[in-house]
Structures are given as C-alpha cells and as structure tokens.
Amino acid sequence: MSDLSQTLREQVLDAREHQQPVSIQGNNTKGFLGNSGATPILDTSAHSGILHYEPTELVLTARAGTLLSDITQCLDEHQQMLAFEPPGFGDKATLGGTIACNLSGPRRPYAGAARDFVLGCCIINGQGQVLKFGGEVMKNVAGYDVSRLMTGAMGTLGILLDISIKVVPKPPMELTIRKEVDNEQALQVMSRWRQRPMPVSAACHDGNHLYFRLSGSESALKSAQNKMGGDRVDNGEDFWERLREHKHAFFDINKPLWRLSLPANTPLFNLDGKQFIDWGGAQRWLVSSMDADKIRALTYKAGGHASLYRRMDSEVETFHPLPEAMLPIHQRIKQAFDPDNIFNPGRMYKTI
C-alpha cells in the first residue's frame, strides 16, 4: 500500500470513529452531478499516476486521481484510446471521477459504456479495509463483478484507489456528415442506419441538423457516405468534443438540464423547452422548467428514466426514483460496503 493510500485509509477510520460523513472528491469537475454532498471533503486528487500500461494487451491501470488528459496523452502515443469517450467537464477531470459517475460520451451506444471497460479496481470500504476486485484481463468469472458495481456508485460504496480499464486502438480515419432534417425525420434516419452494418460511431440531432460520425478505413467511410448522403463537416472532431463537454450552444442555458434515457426509437415527447437528441436517439437532453414528476412520468411510461443533470437551486431528486422493490437492495448493498454511512450520504438518493 502506498503512503497516500494509507493516509486515505486513516482518514476513513477517523471518520468512522467520529461518525463523521465525508464527501469523496478529486478535482470536483463532477461536483454538479447528484445531490448536495456531505462535509468535510476527503480529497483523493493527490493519489495519481499511471501504474501499468501494456499497449499490446490493451490494458491500463492508474490511480483514481490520474488526470484524464494524462491518460489520453499516454494512449495517443500508441494510437489507442478510451472507447467510451468520457466527458471531462474540466481540464482537471480524473479517472476516478469518471468511473465513479459512469460517464460516457457520443461513442457510448456503439462501443459501450464506461462500466463495460472496467476490468478491476482497488478500493477502501467504509470500515477502512483495502479491497481488490477483478484484475487486468477480460474473462468470465463466477459471482458478481464488484468492480463494475463501483462504476456509477458516485463514491457511496467506497473510495476508488486504482482502476484497471480496457483500451482500444484508434480508428484509422473518422468523418462527420450532416443533413438538414427535423426531429421526427432524424429519428427515422437514425433507426434506419442503426439496423445496417454501417461504421457509425456517433449520431445526434440538434433540432435542425442530423450529424453522423463514421469511423474506420478510408474505403469504408467513402462507401458509407455514398450510401447515407449528407455533407462533410469540416473540423468534425471539434463538433463532437463540444457536444461531449457540453460546450455546444444548446447547453448555454439558465434553466434546469434533464437527461432522458430512452429506447432509441421512442417518438419525441411533447414537452415544454428545447430538446437535443444524442446517442442515436437513446439519450435526449431537455432544457425545461416543467414539473419534474411530469417529465419523469412520461419518461418512465416510455420505458426510460430521467435525471436532473444540472439543477437551478432545485430540491428535486437528481436521479429517477428507484422502483419500490429496488430500494431495499440498494440499501443492503450500501450497508455491506459502508455500514456507518460515512461515504457521500444522500449523494445519489436522499434515503441512501
């Protein structure tokens, strides 16, 4: 165990002894996500550095406080990348915050979510124990994959120390094309190309234009563009980065921002506010001051869920309420990892 890990462990033991809840935090680029956190802050940002990277094995292991930018630079040197294309929401974004929030970018529906690429992790639980789960290879194992349980738990189950992730080669070439269509047409076109073996790695509609990103060999991209039509977009990489980091003009807002997760072919809702279709239809961004219960009822009826991604002094729960049968399961998992409820209490759900 490193000196930094030992220091974090001692802080956990002290918090447990004094029954003092703590808010686990790296560089706080994801501080807007979730409900208000506890105090004091348990700072993990100093626990950083790439521990092991084997390009031929497509595996990287790094401490949770390692900057995403450092990981990206390291992978770039070997023409590799994080397949889930995580947003940073700031230059100081860390691997730990990304995995704790299970954040993925425009490539997610075509490559997989952050959780799908986590191979293993080392954590400190609420009893101050250092536990290791998974490993550095993709393989079938008996039992539950706890390392993936930590992905998206937002620090409520333990402090992430080290994380092993699968990386992938960069595509040899990428091309972005654009068509002028309305929302309904966009959903139809995305559905059509989703059912065919096309090299699509991102698809969205901003209310006026439908965008596709194609990734693969030069010949494959030329063939796909000929079939799909549309105009080539200059600086397509910049477009997807602005979308991923919420720097697109759509996100210049002063109203609550909702994230609706839905079956990709769900027709557009008749909701007050403006909408942005992402992930080929499976993710809808909604800027609206509508009643939260109405938004969530419509989303749930369509087979999805709604999260309040960026709030405006609202007391509304961030995440879609858990089904009645699921809440006790989440509470038991929390009890198993953090029996004294010291890690980020209420950050995900106010009752956990």
Q: What angle do CA 177, 199, 219 make, to 5 degrees?
A: 85
Residue 140, pLDDT > 50, answer: no
Work out the pLDDT band at 62, boundaries 50, 70, 90.
very high
Residue 141 pLDDT exceeds 90: no
Which stretches within the chain are classed as H helix?
A: 3-17, 68-76, 95-101, 108-111, 146-149, 183-194, 218-228, 236-244, 292-301, 327-337
Phi-psi region of 155 (alpha: psi -120 to 50; beta: other; left: phi over 0): left
Residue bearing tokens 């858990």: 322
Mean pLDDT computed over 144-148: 81
At 294, list the tokens: 């109405």
Task: Let me know: does 214 contact 238? Beta carbons within 8 Å.
Answer: no
Could you please state the CATH topology (level 3) that the domain comprising 3-169+332-337 is classified under. Answer: 3.30.465
pLDDT mean over 83-88: 97
Establish how many alpha carbons lie within 13 A of residue 62's alpha carbon, considering only the half-sphere containing its beta carbon: 28
- Between CA 134 and CA 137, with CA 135 as vertex, the angle to 5 degrees is 120
pTM of the full structure: 0.93
